[in-house]
């Protein structure tokens, strides 16, 4: 089964918006056993959208489009695809009632522009939008597939007979394909996919066995990770194991995938090998972020955490509080940007600040001790450093950071150099601090 | 000039990684006057990469690929494209010296796997990677362009004569095209593009006048935004103005674009109209985020800010500290997740917590007053609410939040209902708090 995604939106092509749909949909579809083979993004213009959808239908069994279903003048995907497939747009009473209700519940009159959202291609399945107004749409389309090959030298062609459904051409194969159109806003698209599209796919397409396991490591470079494991994994490759690597700042993902009946067994064997060779560096699996692992570990052990952040500016707190249930373990934190805040809120001594400077091992030590005590937590993290772009000196260049961890056993401080842009600096420093804490919590045991 | 982007990486198709290159490159290229017409992502497999690049070269004057240049076994883009273009791979001494130096400076031996990175397609321009090992590559390719059209019913074809450069076919148009290959990690790709590729593009392709202005509004829905402005903008459309809308949580962008000699004038007239009709709701332009606007406003006025965050868990601090120079205005913040932290660090009274509950107008009020006083700031923001998924009650459902703002003039508290997923809740609540502060600071004047 071949799956393609077409994202529409001029804001994508102008680089004004990040396309989060691609990752989200690819992930969901892979989990259902359908790995997306191609994703295309085009602007909100007639020719581009129709060409992309036509080409995708020429290759794929399932095409999912995103965007262009809303009420504004640049939302033209519905009209263009209806025209491409030779379908009339007809008013749908359920959609109209839903949109009327949507605005009535908010005590607002329905904007006239939303009328276009009530017109859907004739014969389409309609999915009411629980978190917005524009419905999702699904259509089964009939296609004569002359050639469906990604091999070199061949052109994929798509001779649609959309306006004359169920035609049996002279000896040609007629195959059924699905075209699904989803609204652009993520908080509308995601629940619609989970609640309406997944059941449709399960009904229309056989599940395929596909196993993907990602092992997430920190603190080792991509080449070293491969050197450590590739020879040992090689015997599994002829049996169908695929190995992938993804380098991120301060972290490398190892991805093991296989398809077919023996997939779980093969991936399981691969995972055991990676675990044995890289175990100390692996902090989690699949969707795990270090912050999720920390919250899980501390929850299991009924232990608590406090933070004192200077240069990460709340990023550690933000990442931890993204995890549902974080309130059970994170008592709180202080973002102590100003020296006065370091003194007043977490008790760093003025003398220490004066003698060593705000970015120093000594201040990091007092910050973490202060945070642990003020909040009454089992563990504390403190970071102080120079995020840049300004503020560096010859002795302490931009990227210098001290990471301090406190527990009942005392304090340890590490100096790191993370000479990257401000956003990467904050992200990497937070990752290093959380990874340090993970080691400390595991070593401390308990729970 | 037609530009296309091809992103390679199985991790993209498996949905394991977010494709940030698309936005970043599209944005940079649009700013240079080259709007990308199509972006394609495919897996790290031979057929898919070659097909995508071949098709893109059939349509575009400039094709940029990302990823697949690294040292691991799934980095195959360089080899595949060299094969597609009929180029030999030859060792490059400069790249070898750079990679040797890269590891020597880190006191590490060079991993054997990095040798593949030293081989580049014969005749390619080579860009040394200042933040990694794999070089970027650029090649001028000759193509007979039979058809180059995105119109319906036509197939783009690409008959490359790569192995025989500069051939003049019998009466056919020979056009020059550029293929540029960039490494996958963003912190390697971005400086390489800015430092090496931009100069190449300026040399090889004439600048085209393209003006894009985004006006960013908060607190009005997408339909209402369009209703407010569309009739007044209509007279500019025949002159070349394009109007786009992008709905985000609690925010709508209005995008005005035009190309050609009169573009700046037309976009300027459009901007004046939108400004007149939506002014109160517009917080910024183009890349502005509310946090940048706040830091700019407070810096101009030499005023300071403190935060007390409960349900946003550090997100407001994180967003503000993403802005270079934030340290001049943000004295600090407290993430007061636990009630004890609300009491001890910012002086919320135990009695208030007990009587009204942590999520209440009264607690929000005491949090903001406490933060303003503890940090000695001109302004303070406090938020307390229920981010979910747990913790809601009939009276205070998930999404309930109190946002309090303090200044020398006193305190104001707003109750909002943001019944979305945890991440959206945090983001929208932070936006609402910062937007409230923007209004308050502007109203207060000074500076």
Instruction: Return the higher-pLDDT residue of B57 and B337.
Output: B57
Would you state the pLDDT for residue B168? 36
Would you state the pLDDT for residue B143? 61
Please state the rounded mean pLDDT for residues B384-405. 93
- End-to-end CA separation in angstroms for chain B: 47
Assess whether pLDDT exceeds 80 at residue B150.
Answer: no
* C-alpha closest to that of B37 among B4, B63, B59, B6: B4
Q: Which residue of B has its CA nearest to A213?
A: B16
Chain A neighbors of B39, CB-CB under 8 A: 12-13, 40-41
Assess whether pLDDT exceeds 90 at residue A170.
Answer: no
* C-alpha closest to that of B177 among B140, B214, B148, B219: B140
Q: What is the pLDDT of residues B175-194, one digit of tens each?
A: 679 999 999 999 899 999 99
Tell me the pLDDT band of A270, cut-offs 50, 70 and 90: very high
Would you state the pLDDT for residue A249? 79
Whether residue B26 and residue A48 make contact (CB cut-off 8 A), yes or no, is: no
- Which ipTM was obtained for this model? 0.77
Q: How many CB atoms are closer than 10 A to CB A416?
A: 17
Assess whether pLDDT exceeds 80 at residue B323.
Answer: yes
Whether residue B26 and residue A13 make contact (CB cut-off 8 A), yes or no, is: yes
Would you state the pLDDT for residue B17? 85
The alpha carbon of residue B40 is apart from the nearest alpha carbon of chain A, in Å, by 4
What b/e sequence results for A283-308 when a residue is b if at least 16 CB atoms lie within 10 Å of its CB, and e otherwise?
bbeeeebbbbbbbebbeebebbbbbb
Tell me the pLDDT band of B48, cut-offs 50, 70 and 90: very high
DSSP single-letter state for residue B112:
G
Give CA separation, A17 vs A48, A129, B224, in Å.
19, 22, 21
pTM for the full model? 0.78
CA–CA separation, A402 and A229 (whole Å): 32
Interface of A with B in 384-403 (CB under 8 A): 387-390
Pseudo-torsion of CA B100, B101, B104, B106, nearest 10°?
A: -120
Tell me the pLDDT band of B169, cut-offs 50, 70 and 90: very low
Prior bond of B389 cis (ω within 30°): yes
A307 touches chain B (CB under 8 A): yes
Q: What is the pLDDT of residues A35-83, one digit of tens each?
A: 999 999 999 888 899 999 999 999 999 999 999 998 888 889 999 999 9
B246 touches chain A (CB under 8 A): yes
Please state the rounded mean pLDDT for residues B234-256. 90
Assess whether pLDDT exceeds 60 at residue A304.
Answer: yes
Would you state the pLDDT for residue A173? 46
Assess whether pLDDT exceeds 80 at residue A292.
Answer: yes
% chain A with pLDDT above 70: 92
CA–CA separation, B400 and B384 (whole Å): 9
Assess whether pLDDT exceeds 70 at residue B157.
Answer: no
% chain B with pLDDT above 70: 92
Chain B neighbors of A228, CB-CB under 8 A: none
Contact yes or no for B55/B158 (Cβ under 8 A): yes
Assess whether pLDDT exceeds 50 at residue A100.
Answer: yes
Q: How many CB atoms are closer than 10 A to CB B447?
A: 11
Q: What is the pLDDT of residues A10-20, one digit of tens each?
A: 889 988 888 99
> CA gyration radius for chain B?
27
Would you state the pLDDT for residue A171? 38
Assess whether pLDDT exceeds 70 at residue A446.
Answer: no
| Domains of chain A (ranges, CATH numbers) | 3-204 (3.40.980.10), 210-285 (3.30.70.2860), 290-444 (3.90.950.20)
């Amino acid at each position: 089964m071949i799956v393609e995604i077409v994202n529409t939106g001029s804001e994508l092509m102008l680089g004004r918006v990040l396309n989060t749909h691609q990752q989200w949909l690819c992930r969901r579809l892979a989990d259902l056993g359908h790995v997306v083979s191609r994703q295309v993004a085009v602007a909100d213009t007639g020719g581009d959208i129709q060409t992309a959808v036509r080409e995708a239908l020429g290759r794929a069994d399932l095409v999912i489009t995103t965007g262009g279903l809303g009420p504004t003048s640049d939302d033209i995907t519905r009209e263009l695809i209806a025209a491409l497939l030779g379908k009339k747009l007809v008013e749908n009473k359920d959609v109209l009632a839903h949109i009327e209700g949507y605005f009535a519940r908010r005590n607002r009159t329905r904007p006239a522009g939303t009328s276009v959202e009530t017109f859907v291609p004739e014969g389409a399945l309609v999915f009411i939008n629980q978190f917005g107004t524009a419905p999702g749409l699904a259509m089964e389309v009939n296609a004569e597939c002359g050639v469906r090959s990604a091999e070199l030298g061949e052109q994929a062609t798509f001779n649609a007979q959309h306006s004359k459904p169920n035609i049996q051409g002279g000896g040609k194969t007629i195959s059924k394909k699905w075209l699904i159109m989803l609204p652009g806003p993520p908080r509308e698209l995601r629940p619609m996919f989970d609640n309406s599209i997944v059941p449709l796919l399960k009904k229309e397409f056989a599940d395929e066995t596909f196993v993907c396991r990602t092992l997430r490591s920190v603190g080792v470079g991509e080449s070293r990770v491969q050197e450590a494991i590739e020879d040992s994994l090689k015997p599994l490759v002829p049996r169908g194991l695929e190995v992938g690597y993804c380098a991120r700042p301060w972290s490398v993902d190892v991805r093991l995938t296989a398809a077919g009946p023996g997939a779980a067994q093969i991936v399981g064997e691969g995972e055991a090998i990676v675990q044995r060779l890289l175990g100390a560096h692996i902090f989690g699996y699949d969707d795990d972020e270090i912050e999720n692992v920390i919250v899980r570990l501390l929850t299991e052990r009924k232990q608590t955490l406090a933070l004192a952040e200077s240069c990460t500016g709340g990023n550690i707190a933000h990442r931890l509080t993204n995890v549902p249930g974080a309130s059970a373990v994170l008592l709180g934190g202080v973002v102590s940007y100003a020296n006065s805040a370091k003194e007043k809120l977490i008790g760093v001594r003025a003398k220490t600040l004066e003698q060593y400077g705000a970015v120093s091992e000594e201040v990091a030590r007092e910050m973490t001790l202060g945070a642990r005590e003020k909040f009454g937590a089992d563990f504390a993290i403190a970071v102080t450093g120079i995020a840049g772009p300004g503020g560096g000196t010859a002795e302490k260049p931009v990227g210098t950071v001290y990471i301090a961890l406190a527990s009942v056993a005392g304090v340890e401080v590490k100096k790191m150099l993370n000479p990257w842009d401000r956003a990467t600096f904050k992200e990497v420093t937070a990752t290093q601090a959380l990874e340090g804490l993970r080691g400390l919590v595991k070593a401390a045991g308990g729970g």
